[in-house]
Amino acid sequence: MAFYVVQFLTGLASAASLFLVASGLSIIFGVTRIVNFAHGAFYMLGAYVAFTLTARFSGALGFWGGILAAALIVAAVGVLVEMLLLRRIYHVPELFQLLATFGLTLMVEDLVVLGWGPNDLVGPRAAGLKGAIDFFGQQIPSYDLFLIVLGPLVLGLLWLVFQRTRWGVLVRAATQDRDMVAALGVNQKWLFTSVFALGVFLAALAGALQIPRDAVTHEMDLRVIVDVFVVVVIGGLGSITGAFVAAVLVSELNAFGILIFPKISIILVFLVMAAVLIVRPWGLLGRAEAPVRRTPGLTVNPWRPLTSRERIAVAIAFLLAASLPFYAGNYALAVGAEIAIFVIFAASLHFLMSTGGLASFGHAAYFGLGAYGTAFAVKLAGLPMAAALVAGPLFGLLGAVVFGFFAVQLSGVYFAMLTLAFAQIVWSVAFQWVGLTGGDNGILGVWPERWAASAPHFFWLSLAVAVLAVAGLRIATFSPFGFALRATRDSPLRAEAIGINGKRIQWSAFLIAGTVAGIGGALFAYLKGSVFPDVLGIPLSVDALVMVLLGGVETVSGAIVGAIVYKALSIWLVSQTEWSKLVLGAFIVLIVVAFPKGIVGTLDSLWHRRPSSLKDAMLASKIETAE
């Protein structure tokens, strides 16, 4: 019995540290609607700064003072980030801030290595709380007890601040309707800055409080960020009590789950999230979102198919690309094929995001299923290459059929998180089922047959498939189906009123996007000759998201340019420098500030400002007013 009590308390301690990070994220999201990917980076910075301070100032005051000072210092950094970067981009489509914070995260990962060196750092134990307390023969670390008290304490303090202060009332009002708060004359700028500072303070405090338990490494941010997102979503976005309940739920399920299924940890949070979202689409304590005022896919310049002159230009670009094998070496061709494959992948996500208005955070699942499907077709069924290239995408389709059905019941960030959960579940199956997938060691020897083996042939194959895929997606966008999809995106109620079955239309879009991503995955398996669980992983999903946002989510085919620029740049940077993350992150941040609508989106609106397209501009302004 004592054992179960202690296990329960241990779970509570884990919950407390999870809650501290999650509460900050939840507050920031609630008010600013920023999906703050850099929250993990602030957590990590908190730990690094606390490590330095506690090493310099010893003693109880040095330790606890160091922890607090670290959180304050990092909160100040957060204020700078908010004022210099985020303030410039509040007006751009949602999710675009995600790109900025993602760039920031990349930079911080390299910066901490530059600043603190490559080794794992182990900070001091908590002053005064080093030992353990005996509980009927079981040892409970006193630091755990401290955390168990701290969690609810922070929750209570936040509750007081939000319920009993004017600032808190404003924050709650902004969480519900920030436009209304602005209309009532509240200075939003400082409200946002202070909220961001509080959120970052909590993240940094949580990171600093980890140093007596954990090692400080440059990978801390990614270890924590996904779990924290999941906790926030389970609890209900913007609900701090919900985040607390979710943290306790997840931690306790883990603490007791491992007694029965020791392998459960890797997948547990995602299972819980998927289950919760299917039953309660807005999380445990979340409320239904207010109707969206501004859809991510809403375009000011109305979409239209290509004019004949544009078609000629595209044909010339295609011919230029297709002539690459006549003057480029094998390596350039392999890189070209990889870029073509990522064009397919990014275009499929772009279709889902811009035409469908559904931002998936787990699109790699379908890319990876395509790759694994192809590998199975070759290795287990012994199919020839042409058949395997067809079989692979069918796996992507199958995954999209199942997951899409549940996912399209939700919208917005909840949709994004459910897709993330599904992707993570597929990833952990591939990662753990060593018997079938080879686990982490992957499936080797999926090389192309002779007809496609040479670098020029494979490049042409990838390019041809990419052109077909992009053309197909464009045709779908401008087909009646595409119009129905866009109608559902822009106004679900009106679309329903004219007899469009929105969920079915969105589900179909999900299937199309999943299948096209699977085609990309199938080609990727042959390009690399092997398949590893990475192809299902979160980093790949994020890559695709970055490509789409970089190209411009409000465009018809911006993802193509986004994919080419991002992939070419990242391959080149990885080859040229070990600080590729720093450079790439800085590049992304610059792009976000300079081209807040994405590369193609910004070029597009520049073009539309010209007098020659006055008519278009007028049309656009009419539409804008109509909205």
Partner 1 sequence: MQRRVLLGGALALTVTGLATVTGLAPSAFAQSGEIKIGEINSYSLLPAFTEPYRKGWQLAVEEVNAAGGINGKKLVVISKDDGGKPAEAQTAANELVSNENVAMLVGTFLSNIGLAVSDFAKQKKAFFLASEPLTDAITWSKGNRYTFRLRPSNYMQAAMLVEAAAKLPAKRWATIAPNYEYGQSAVAVFKKLMSEKRPDIQWVDAQWPPLGKIDAGPVVQAVAAANPDAILNVEFGADLVKLVREGETRGLFKGRQVVSFLTGEPEYLDPLKDEAPQGWIVTGYPWYSIKTPEHEAFLKAYQAKYNDYPRLGSIVGYETIKAAAAIIAKANSTDPDKMIAAAEGLSLSSPFGEITFRKIDHQSTLGAFVGKTALKDGKGVMVDSVYRKGADYLPSDAEVEKMRPKD
Helix 364-379 / helix 385-407 crossing angle, nearest 10 deg: 140
Strand ranges inside 411-493, DSSP E:
443-444
Kindly state the smallest distance separating residue 544's Cβ from partner 1, in Å.
Answer: 14
Q: Which is nearer to partner 1, 166 or 615 (CB)?
A: 615
| 380 binds partner 1 per the rule CB under 8 A | no
> Interface with partner 1 by CB under 8 A: which range of 82-90, 113-121, 179-187, 479-487?
113-121
Site for partner 1 in 445-464 (CB under 8 A): 445, 447, 455
Q: Is 497 exposed, middle or buried (0-12, 13-18, 19+ CB in 10 A)?
A: exposed
> Interface with partner 1 by CB under 8 A: which range of 71-79, 82-90, 119-127, 374-382?
119-127
Site for partner 1 in 138-197 (CB under 8 A): 138-141, 143-144
Q: Which is nearer to partner 1, 117 or 156 (CB)?
A: 117
Q: What share of residues in the chain are helix, strand, coil (percent, to 5)?
A: 75, 5, 20
Per-residue x/- mask for partner 1, residues 576 to 615, rule CB under 8 A? Answer: -xxxxx-----------------xx--xx--xx----x--
> Interface with partner 1 by CB under 8 A: which range of 77-85, 194-202, 372-380, 571-579?
571-579
Beta carbons within 8 Å of 402's beta carbon, 6+ residues apart: none
Kindly state the smallest distance separating residue 339's Cβ from partner 1, in Å.
Answer: 7
The angle formed by the CA atoms of residues 531, 534 and 536, to the nearest 5 degrees, is 90
Q: Which is nearer to partner 1, 168 or 456 (CB)?
A: 456
| 574 binds partner 1 per the rule CB under 8 A | yes
Site for partner 1 in 195-234 (CB under 8 A): 212-215, 217-220, 223, 227
- The DSSP result for 66-122, as a single string, is HHHHHHHHHHHHHHHHHHHTGGGGTTSPTTHHHHHHHHHHHHHHHHHHHHH-SS-EE
H or E segment and range at residue 418: helix 412-432
Q: How many CB atoms lie within 10 A of CB 152?
A: 14
Candidates 530, 538, 546, 547; binder of partner 1 (CB under 8 A) is 530
Site for partner 1 in 230-289 (CB under 8 A): 251, 254-255, 258-259, 262-263, 265-266
Q: Which is nearer to partner 1, 495 or 584 (CB)?
A: 584
Q: Is 393 exposed, middle or buried (0-12, 13-18, 19+ CB in 10 A)?
A: buried
Per-residue x/- mask for partner 1, residues 313 to 352, rule CB under 8 A? Answer: xx-xx--xx--x--xxxxxx-xxx-xx-------------
- Closest by Cα among 156, 222, 250 to 537: 222
Q: Which is nearer to partner 1, 120 or 627 (CB)?
A: 120
Buried residues in 440-468 as b, exposed as e (16+ CB within 10 A): eebbeebbbeeebeebebbbbbbbebbbe
* Residue 452 C-alpha from the chain's centroid: 34
Kindly state the smallest distance separating residue 535's Cβ from partner 1, in Å.
Answer: 8
| 120 binds partner 1 per the rule CB under 8 A | yes
